[in-house]
Structure 1
């Protein structure tokens, strides 16, 4: 389970909330396990999940009717699915249905309200929720205004910060997905290194990296900009996309990359040398490595991230990078 049930229960109780409405792909996925790919591609989509206080499983997932095949293929962790809008599903007639088709048929037979406002209103009307936290980042202002107009006796309060607080302590399933996202990213980097050869371009290595992600069940998430892979002097641009510059002996190869795996992201940087490093590159590596070691040794309960950062920077400057900032 992704959701930290005990933490969510405690936060809602402290805030005197009867329930919350998730509205972003990340928070809907956190509650239900369903990360809608259409939610990523079409930013005009509205999708909600309603969780009542004290419940381990959300009550309702509200989504566009054209997404019913997705939830039929991989049923989310939710008691009821409500769709809205118009989309048509055909019937195979007398042909026996498989499990997926039966689930889709059962979902499609239900009537769908015309709009997301109508759908979420119907759900709220079924509940006794009086004080409701709304993840305001994903709900259109017109929908939120519409809810307040339809339910003047109920209190709708901003709750995006509460989702962040609940999610600050990860469950074991979340940690496993984060670890796997990093492992996939590192293995994709090593795949590129095994194929490193004089003349390969940054763009070609970037393509190899992203293919390696896909083969492991993840996908690049830096879209629409490709993953960042740079050679030698061309690697200094922090966000510069890969180009046609060829790899030369002695170049360093810089990766600033990540992936999306089952709703969770990795974002890491790695630097390697193709061949024997120059004295300058070796010196820079030594200074930065020394700073990172101090940073790792400094981490303890209660220390500020800024203090860890400053210790690392001070060490790097002392070890040979006086102008490092």
Structure 2
């Protein structure tokens, strides 16, 4: 049995876990103000007179308001100069105001009113009625239609050059939150590995991981969790039916949490029992593929180059080519931050030029249909000196958590 796999139980492991959130602060008002200033500078560069940001992570990023998206318009108009304007359901004003980190003019609409006419009026007040509006690229199409039909003189483009232009590069405060969140999830992974036993069900492990995330300080528990045993590990995002663990099964666990809204996301794969020569060989190729991508990414190269390096290496090892199986069925990595998946993406066709502060997963998964799959997933960020890991990758198939 590999070091750290099995031999304990849920109660014992939960008792060992302590809150890990101390000493890390949420994003402060001064940083929100700097984000808005950066957005306004980018608007001028891209010929936008204002941007409209709907509820969701873009609104959270610029204003601190964590608002669940619904059919009701609730968001912010950020002009290229001047104060912000908030468009909010009247009955939600108190709750919305309590979350704000950036002051602005509040415009409320009652349930029987037309919120899009209100937004058009606010755009006119801001002096942008005949200008160009950047519309939140993540907002529903019906909202785009709503403002387009009520502001005939307005030119509407995607706000993505501004929103992504700000969000792609993480600040020191963002990196600190993501570092701690990943530290928390890695500790949970270690605890989950220790409770494995013959016959344990995937659902029991899922419940434990949620409780463990809460124990280390993740208020909402697991943001997501995938637990797979045996041949099911060849399905990247899981299967419908819970399974029970058998001796010498491959185990794949992919999970994460949030700390002050920033995500972690780590996958570990190892064997419960004695690894076969076949399992060892594929595990080693997966580990090398992850390292190849890490060695390739750095400031100044396109995001797609990380994926290309992985596929080139694996082709020499007899996998693929491309997305053919046995091989890598999905992209090598995704960006992370307030969204679990955001830009940049390590995938063919993503020509984003990597820069300092950009964060992404490195997780080229090797799938062998009807046998098993192996995914090593850790996240990295770009510095002036090259990439750095948030968490160190799995050490070896015999000591995945470097406990020996």
Normalising by the smaller structure, the TM-score range is: 0.7 to 0.9
Cα pair distance change 1:175/1:201, threshold 3 Å:
same
Cα pair distance change 1:172/1:65, threshold 3 Å:
farther
SS at match of 2:294: helix
**Equivalent in the alignment of 1:64:** 89
1:132-153 per-residue CA deviation (whole Å, 9 max, x = no partner) reads 322254261442134314xx3x
Map residues 111-150 of structure 1 onto 2, 5 A cutoff. 114-130=113-129, 131=131, 132-138=133-139, 140-149=143-152
1:170-201 per-residue CA deviation (whole Å, 9 max, x = no partner) reads 23333333334433332332232232222211
Cα pair distance change 1:195/1:168, threshold 3 Å:
same
Structure 2 distance, partners of 1:180, 1:70, is 29
Residue correspondences, number: 286
Cα pair distance change 1:292/1:158, threshold 3 Å:
closer
Cα pair distance change 1:183/1:82, threshold 3 Å:
farther
**Equivalent in the alignment of 1:91:** none
2:211 pairs with 1:211 = yes
Q: CA deviation at 1:260?
A: 4.1
Cα pair distance change 1:69/1:176, threshold 3 Å:
farther
- Between 230-239 and 63-72, report the one with greater CA deviation: 63-72
Structure 2 distance, partners of 1:187, 1:83, is 45
Q: CA deviation at 1:82?
A: 3.2
- Between Structure 1 and Structure 2, the one with more helix by share is 1
Q: CA RMSD in A?
A: 2.9
Cα pair distance change 1:197/1:66, threshold 3 Å:
farther
Higher relative contact order at CA 8 Å, sep ≥6: structure 1 or structure 2?
A: 2
SS at match of 1:284: helix
Q: CA deviation at 1:34?
A: 1.0
Q: CA deviation at 1:214?
A: 4.1
Q: CA deviation at 1:64?
A: 2.4
**Equivalent in the alignment of 1:93:** none
8 Å Cα contact 2:229-2:243 kept in structure 1: yes
Structure 2 distance, partners of 1:81, 1:194, is 52
8 Å Cα contact 2:42-2:162 kept in structure 1: yes
2:116 pairs with 1:79 = no
The normalised TM-score by structure 2 is 0.62
Q: CA deviation at 1:317?
A: 4.8
Structure 1 distance, partners of 2:86, 2:185, is 31
2:255 pairs with 1:257 = yes
Structure 2 distance, partners of 1:244, 1:157, is 45
The normalised TM-score by structure 1 is 0.75
8 Å Cα contact 2:209-2:222 kept in structure 1: no
